[in-house]
Amino acid sequence: MNILQAWKNGPGPDSLKDYLILVGKGICMGIADIIPGVSGGTMAFITGIYGSLIDAIRSFNGVFFKKLLKLDLVGAVAEAHLKFLLPLLFGILAAMVSVANLIHHLLTDYPVQIWSLFFGLIAASILVVGKRVGEYNFKNISACVAGAVFSFVLVGLIPVTTPDTLWFVFFCACISICAMILPGISGAFILLLLGKYEYITGALRNPAVPENAAILIAFVCGCAVGISMFSRVLHYFLEKHHAVTVSVLTGFMAGAMRKIWPWKEVLDSVVIRGKTHVLSEANVLPPAIDGEFAMAVLLMLAGFAAVIILEWVSSARES
Q: What is the pLDDT of residues 200-243, one digit of tens each?
A: 877 877 778 888 889 989 988 998 888 888 888 887 888 888 88
Beta bridge partners of 275: 272
Average pLDDT over residues 255-280: 75
- Please write down the long-range contacts of 5-9, taking CB distance under 8 Å and 24 or more positions apart: 6/74, 6/75, 6/77, 6/78, 7/77, 7/82, 7/83, 8/83, 9/78
> For residue 170, what pLDDT is reported?
93
- Taking the C-alpha atoms of residue 179 and residue 88, their distance in angstroms, rounded to an integer, is 18
Domain boundaries, the chain: 1-109
What digits encode the pLDDT tens for the residues 123-159? 887 887 788 787 888 999 999 999 999 888 887 776 6
Torsion of CA 219, 103, 280, 259, to 10 degrees: -100
**Separation between Cα atoms, residue 85 and residue 102, nearest integer Å:** 26
87 touches 13 (CB < 8 A): yes
CA dist., res. 303 & res. 11, Å (int): 31
Q: Mean pLDDT lowest for which of 134-143, 191-200, 249-258, 287-296?
A: 191-200
Dist. CA 253–CA 122, nearest whole Å: 7
**Are residues 218 and 174 in contact, defined by beta-carbon separation less than 8 angstroms?**
no
